[in-house]
Amino acid sequence: MTTIYHNPACGTSRNTLALIRNTGEEPTVIEYLKTPPSRVILIQMISDAGLSVREAIRQKGTPYAELGLDNPQLSDDALIEAMLANPILINRPFVVADKGTRLCRPSELVLDVLSKPQQQEFTKEDGEAVINAEGQRVTKFS
């Protein structure tokens, strides 16, 4: 079973959810701004995703600077407390799936943790192709 910590106002989160659904699976959708994860679950997701607490904090469009969270002296515990008190500080979307936990920025990172294949073409909201007609990931060349 796949769980997404989702913000419907976020395009990356919407694209990630759509990629999960493109496998034919209906995930558990937790709107984390309404129902934040517990301290234990938040710490576990960050750890399982291989991130530091600072990497899991969202700065853009949040009270990050106003709360002084850019202070390098703040402990991980203080940062976690801020995230729990202000869930908008939790970067998104986190996906917990059979093959692991991932902060899906960009959204196609979700493909690394999904067990089921993509069923059809998929294009992100901004028009970027992610999955081709054969259900394969589109490779970007720089």
Active site residues: 10
Tens of pLDDT, residues 4-25: 999 999 999 999 999 999 999 9
Predicted confidence (pLDDT) per residue in 56-92, tens digit: 999 999 999 999 999 999 999 999 999 999 999 999 9
Cβ pair 104, 110 in contact under 8 A: yes
- Asked whether residue 141 carries a pLDDT value surpassing 70, the answer given is no
**79-108 average pLDDT score:** 97
The pTM score is 0.93
Cα 27 to Cα 98: distance, rounded to the nearest angstrom: 12
Query: Can you list the domains of the chain with their CATH numbers?
Result: 3-131 (3.40.30.10)
Instruction: Specify the residue for token string 């990497």.
Output: 55
